[in-house]
Amino acid sequence: MIRRFLAVLKARNLEFLRDRSALGWNIALPVFIVLGMWLVFSGNEKPIFKVAVFSGAAPLASLHNDFLSTRFIQFYSVSSIQPAIRKVEHDQSDMLLDLENPAHPRYWVNQSSPKGYILEKILQGEKDLRYTRQPVSGRAIRYVDWLIPGILGMNMMFSCLFGVGYVIVRYRKNGFLKRLNATPLHAFEFIAAQVTSRLILIMCITIAVYIGTDLLIGFYMSGSYLALLLVAILGATSMISLGLLVAARVSSEEFAGGLLNLLSWPMMFLSGVWFSLQGTHPWLQRTAEFLPLTQLLEGARAVMLDGAGVLQILPQLLALAGMTIVFLAVGAASFKWKND
């Protein structure tokens, strides 16, 4: 069994490495995107204000507060204080308001944030309430620091889905799987070899891209590299398993490409690759939680930006592990070697 598994693993690795165009594209694309975003957003940011509001059980719309009606400021609800404070510390949110007790409102602002300074001056002009100031300090997170997990995660997503799903469909279409079925190779061994091969290759590429761009730009990293590696491995495994699920029975490359695009494009826009979903409609945020890329990016950003450890990202790890098990189980049960 081990010999058959290793033989398929070696053959798949060599097939990918000999495809110079695919290998080069997987390495060059995220580097170009990161460098481009760094150049575009390295200057002054656009004057957009985001203010988090903690109001306890009261809906944000039910609060009677003149400041909340200020134009050109985006107010969004948060369910707890401490995670929102960390976002203020890192300039991911410009201000945090605590309006749970309307008689004694409080606000948090980063003392080194220009946006926080302007918002504080606006807030001090309000005559209806006296706010208690709660200053915080912390290193400002650049957009490129926030973006790098999204770019690497997006590259992993495309490589995992298309690098496995599309390839297996091509194998089935040209009869390669039919010939393998005539050998002692079992479906589990073949699937395990495909998952392992893609996981090794994508992790090597992702680590190389991260190190290379970090040397050029210098990213903010406050957590453990081992925790980051763990969430990356589980995230990649879940998306590889999703690609296998798509390819389990499909025989048409065109149909497989359509299904993979149907999965990848919503993930790219709803999982927080380019922008945060905070402040969007709650149902949209809840829907995004069911996407493996969302769990991957939430865990990676928690480690890189907030210094979270394994215990703090355990919900994301469990979600990715659960998705992997479901995708693999359904894919293995429905896998077929031949065309209908």
**Cα 95 from Cα 101, distance rounded (Å):** 17
Q: What's the Rg (C-alpha) of the chain?
A: 23
What's the angle, vertex CA 192, arms to CA 160 and CA 245, rounded to 5?
50
Q: What is the arithmetic mean of pLDDT over 65-84? A: 84
Per-residue model confidence (pLDDT) at position 45: 47
Per-residue model confidence (pLDDT) at position 338: 67
Whether the Cβ atoms of residue 126 and residue 97 lie closer than 8 Å to each other:
no
Does domain 49-136 sit in CATH 1.20.120.1760?
Answer: no
Residue 95 pairs with which residues in a beta bridge? 51
Locate the DSSP E strands across 55-143.
73-77, 95-98, 106-110, 132-136
Mean pLDDT, the chain, rounded, equals 79
Q: Which two tokens stand for residue 236?
A: 């990649």
Residue % of the chain over a pLDDT of 90:
15
Whether the Cβ atoms of residue 91 and residue 113 lie closer than 8 Å to each other:
yes
**Cα 280 from Cα 291, distance rounded (Å):** 17
If you search the block for the tokens 């927080």, which residue do you land on?
272
- What band does 334 get if pLDDT is binned at 50, 70 and 90? confident
The pairing of strands 132-136 and 73-77 is unpaired
| pLDDT per position as a tens digit, 228-249 | 999 999 999 999 988 888 887 7
Per-residue model confidence (pLDDT) at position 329: 84
| pLDDT per position as a tens digit, 144-175 | 788 888 888 888 888 888 877 777 877 777 77
What Å distances lie between residue 19 and 15, 16, 89, 171, 173, CA to CA?
7, 5, 45, 16, 20
Each domain of the chain, given as residue ranges in start order, spans 2-40+142-334, 49-136
Per-residue model confidence (pLDDT) at position 30: 63
The pairing of strands 95-98 and 49-54 is parallel
- What band does 190 get if pLDDT is binned at 50, 70 and 90? confident
44 has a pLDDT exceeding 70: no
Model pTM above 0.75: no
Whether the Cβ atoms of residue 324 and residue 238 lie closer than 8 Å to each other:
yes
- What band does 8 get if pLDDT is binned at 50, 70 and 90? low
Per-residue model confidence (pLDDT) at position 306: 84
**Cα 77 from Cα 63, distance rounded (Å):** 11
Q: Which two tokens stand for residue 165?
A: 């799903």
Higher pLDDT, 13 or 298: 298
CB atoms within 10 A of CB 16: 20
Residue 135 pairs with which residues in a beta bridge? 109
Q: What is the arithmetic mean of pLDDT over 250-254? A: 72
Q: What is the arithmetic mean of pLDDT over 3-8? A: 62
**Cα 219 from Cα 216, distance rounded (Å):** 9
- What band does 67 get if pLDDT is binned at 50, 70 and 90? confident
Per-residue model confidence (pLDDT) at position 323: 92
Region of poorest pLDDT, from 18-27, 89-98, 231-240, 257-266: 18-27
CB atoms within 10 A of CB 277: 18
- What band does 299 get if pLDDT is binned at 50, 70 and 90? very high
What Å distances lie between residue 30 and 114, 214, 216, 249, CA to CA?
31, 12, 13, 31
Question: What is the separation, in whole angstroms, between the first and last Cα of the chain?
Answer: 28
- What band does 201 get if pLDDT is binned at 50, 70 and 90? confident
**Cα 179 from Cα 197, distance rounded (Å):** 20
Q: What is the arithmetic mean of pLDDT over 198-212? A: 88
Per-residue model confidence (pLDDT) at position 231: 95
Higher pLDDT, 255 or 96: 96
Region of poorest pLDDT, from 76-80, 122-126, 208-212: 122-126
- What band does 328 get if pLDDT is binned at 50, 70 and 90? confident
20 has a pLDDT exceeding 60: no
Per-residue model confidence (pLDDT) at position 3: 67
Give me the helices (H) in 182-252, please: 187-217, 225-247
183 has a pLDDT exceeding 80: no
97 has a pLDDT exceeding 80: yes
